[in-house]
Amino acid sequence: MRTTIALAFAAALALTVSTDAQSRYTAGDGKLRVALAQQPLGPNGPSKGPDTMANGGIQQLLTGMGATVRIEKAQLTPLEETEYGGWKKLGLSLGHFADIVSKNERDGFFTVGLLATCPSMPGLVAGLQRSGTTIEPLRIGMLWLDAHPDFNTPETTRSGSLGGMPVSVATGRALHVMRRDAKLDPPMSDLSIVMGGVRLTDPLEQRLLDDSRIEQLSVDDLRNLTPAVWQQLDRLNRISDKLYIHIDMDVLDPREVMAHGNKVPNGPSSEQLARLFEQIFTRYPKASAIGFATIPPTDEGGLSIAALNRMIEGAVKGVLARR
Taking 90 as the threshold, does the pLDDT of residue 87 lie above it?
A: yes
Taking 70 as the threshold, does the pLDDT of residue 21 lie above it?
A: no
Do the Cβ atoms of 139 and 192 come closer than 8 Å?
Answer: yes
Give residue 18's pLDDT band: very low, low, confident or very high (50, 70, 90).
Answer: very low
Residue 118 sits in which domain range? 32-320
Beta strands 140-145 and 242-248 are parallel
Q: How many domains does the chain have?
A: 1
What is the average per-residue pLDDT within 17-22?
44
Helix axes 270-283, 227-239, angle to 10 degrees: 40
Q: What angle do CA 129, 204, 155 make, to 5 degrees?
A: 70
Do the Cβ atoms of 35 and 106 come closer than 8 Å?
Answer: no
Distances (CA, A) of 319 to 24, 66, 231, 235, 302: 10, 12, 21, 20, 26
In a domain, 81, yes or no: yes
Q: According to the model, what pLDDT value does residue 12 have? A: 39
Beta strands 33-39 and 140-145 are unpaired
pLDDT > 70: percent of the chain: 93
Whole-angstrom distance, CA of residue 244 vs CA of residue 121: 10
Q: Count CA atoms within 13 Å of residue 150 on its CB side.
A: 32
Whole-angstrom distance, CA of residue 280 vs CA of residue 230: 9
Does 77 or 16 have the greater pLDDT score? 77
In a domain, 1, yes or no: no
In a domain, 22, yes or no: no
Residues paired with 38 in a beta bridge: 73, 114
In a domain, 3, yes or no: no
In a domain, 12, yes or no: no
DSSP code of residue 26: B
Residue 165 C-alpha from the chain's centroid: 16
Residues in contact with 35: Cβ distance below 8 Å, sequence separation at least 6, in sequence order: 69, 70, 71, 72, 100, 104, 107, 109, 110, 111, 112
Give residue 83's pLDDT band: very low, low, confident or very high (50, 70, 90).
Answer: confident
In a domain, 2, yes or no: no
Give pLDDT tens digits for 257-315.
Answer: 999 989 999 999 999 999 999 999 999 999 999 999 999 999 989 999 999 999 999 99
End-to-end CA separation in angstroms for the chain: 34
Single out the residue of 153, 169, 72, 85 nearest to residue 119, CA to CA. 169
What is the average per-residue pLDDT within 71-90?
94
In a domain, 116, yes or no: yes
In a domain, 312, yes or no: yes
Distances (CA, A) of 51 to 47, 149, 263, 303: 8, 26, 21, 17
CATH number, domain of 141, equals 3.40.800.10
